[in-house]
Amino acid sequence: MTMKGDPFPVDLDLVNCIQGVAKSVDAIAAQPQPTLLEGGGGDWEEFWIYSVVLQISRVVTGKGNAGILSPFAMRCLPYPTLFGVEPHRDSLHHYETSWLLHPTILAALRALISLYIFTSIVVIWAWNGTHGNRSAIGQSFSYFTWLTYWGLGFYFLVSAVHTWVYARTGRSMLDRWPRVCRVLHALLYTTITTYPFLVTIVFWAILFSPPFYSDVFRGWSNISQHGINSFYALLEIVFPATPPHPFLALPVLIFLLLLYLCVAYITVHTQGFYTYSFLDPGDHGQKSGLVTGYCFGILAGICVLFLVSWGLIWLRRWATGGRVKRSSLDPLHNTDGLRREAHRLQSEQSEMEQLPV
């Protein structure tokens, strides 16, 4: 049913649908909910409120599909929402702050880790180049271990710069960049808090054969790439004020693994070697079933590691109660202290009201 004579023809059925959704949002908003500043569990309600308000604003302004979006379109959320980087979260600076460390210290820690990673890469390459193994330098780009190690190095370098700029200015460099850069940063954070654990587990459970390396250099290089790498990932889970991964990042992780599988078999045809022995199906394909099993095992592994990483981040946010150490130039610097004091006074008042008279 459509009303005529108005500047914008409106479908009354769709209006009723929107009004019904708005009532549901009002019911949610009427309940005491933690805000984003509290770092609590209000993200789901805020997610829907933000979405519905966005759609209703399109109705009012006449933008979208003839001024009215269908109920199905109301569920088609913009990609920043799907990846948890909506504009209203920008001022929280999740990726540049920590609940424990001041931004300057966090930036220094990230820079130090990045320096170690790139220094170890240069040392390993120099060692191979001076010990008759120059081909290993070029071949290293075919190994998932090396690609993940490079990813760690660049993440810590970029995040150190972002955190340092935030500590000095109270603003993020990402504020001046396109929204898609925030999505890519969130995805990069997801990779460096999941892939290193996968590398460590696969190496020590499948590829490593005891006894341990008698060569000190080989022992150090393997521990750096297959042991300490997971420690770096754990630090990024524990210390920053980052939110849990967007669930849409899991298909991206799986897709990247599929792309690497292509790289591994391209390497076989171009350079004649398998980067990992469990990818070799044999001369006549007699081990193809085993290869398939390993691939599905790794697929299951990355799904489990994603959920574990997500759970640890959620647990950290719950345990810290939304505490954040901000730059003194951040407009929210004093707001956090006032909010905590208000919560303390509110808790004391609630306890006093429960005392028997």
pLDDT in tens, 179-199: 999 999 999 999 999 999 999
Residues of the domain holding 244: 92-323
CA–CA distances in Å: residue 158 to residues 40, 153, 248, 298: 27, 9, 23, 28
Please check whether residues 289 and 319 belong to one and the same domain. yes
- How many folded domains does the chain comprise? 2
What pLDDT, on the 0 to 100 scale, is given for residue 354? 73
CA distance 309 to 199: 15
pLDDT at 78: 81
What value does the mean pLDDT take over residues 124-139?
96
Alpha helices in 62-143 (DSSP H): 79-82, 103-130, 135-139
Query: Do 190 and 305 lie in a common domain?
Result: yes
6/4 Cα distance (integer angstroms): 6
The answer to the question of residue 82 being in a domain is no
Whether residue 1 lies inside any domain: the answer is no
Residues 188 and 298 in one domain: yes
pLDDT tens string 233-283: 999 999 999 999 999 999 999 999 999 999 999 999 999 999 999 999 999
- 268 three-state secondary structure: helix
Confidence label for 19 from pLDDT (cuts 50, 70 and 90): low
Secondary structure class of 10 (helix, strand, coil): strand
What's the mean per-residue pLDDT of the chain? 83
What's the CA gap between 142 and 134, in Å, rounded?
Answer: 15
User: For residue 351, what pLDDT band results from cuts at 50, 70 and 90?
Assistant: confident
Residues 131 and 103 in one domain: yes
- Interval 299-314 mean pLDDT: 98
Q: pLDDT band for position 86 (50/70/90)? A: confident
Identify whether residues 20 and 111 lie together within a single domain.
Answer: no
Least reliable range by pLDDT among 78-92, 129-143, 215-229, 269-283: 78-92
What percentage of the chain reaches a pLDDT higher than 70?
74
Angle at 171 between CA 165 and CA 173, to 5 degrees: 60
More confident residue, 12 or 198: 198
In a domain, 341, yes or no: no
Burial of 40 (0-12, 13-18, 19+ CB in 10 A): middle
Report the chain's C-alpha Rg in angstroms.
25
Amino acid at 57: S
- Which of 347 and 247 is assigned the larger pLDDT? 247
- Place 342 in a pLDDT band, splitting at 50, 70 and 90: low
Q: Is the pLDDT of residue 208 over 90?
A: yes
Higher pLDDT, 98 or 56: 98
Examine the domain organization and report whether 120 and 266 are in the same domain: yes
Among 51, 77, 103, give the residue marking a domain's end: 77
Winning range, highest mean pLDDT, from 15-29, 70-84, 144-158: 144-158
Q: Quick check: is 166 in a domain?
A: yes
Shared domain for 17 and 138, answered yes or no, is no
Answer yes or no: do 111 and 225 share one domain: yes
Is 50 exceeded by the pLDDT of residue 66?
A: no
Q: Summarize the confidence of residues 319-338 as an average pLDDT.
A: 84
* Within a domain: 254: yes
CA dihedral 214, 220, 221, 224 (to 10 degrees): 140
Query: Which of residues 81 and 172 earns the better pLDDT score?
Result: 172
Verify that 287 and 154 share a domain, yes or no. yes
Q: pTM of this prediction? A: 0.76
Whether 41 maps to a domain, the answer reads yes
Q: What percent of the chain has pLDDT over 90?
A: 64
Q: Place 317 in a pLDDT band, splitting at 50, 70 and 90.
A: very high
What is residue 69's predicted lDDT score, i.e. its pLDDT?
39
Residues 39 and 159 in one domain: no
- Residue 28 domain flag: yes
| Model pLDDT, residue 262 | 98
Q: Where does the pLDDT of residue 81 fall: very low under 50, low under 70, confident under 90, or very high at 90 and above?
A: confident
| Comparison of pLDDT for 42 and 292, the residue scoring more | 292
**Same structural domain, 59 and 133:** no
Q: Exposed (0-12), middle (13-18) or buried (19+): which is 303, by Cβ within 10 Å? A: middle
pLDDT of residue 132: 94
Residue 148 in domain? yes
The answer to whether residues 160 and 47 belong to one domain is: no
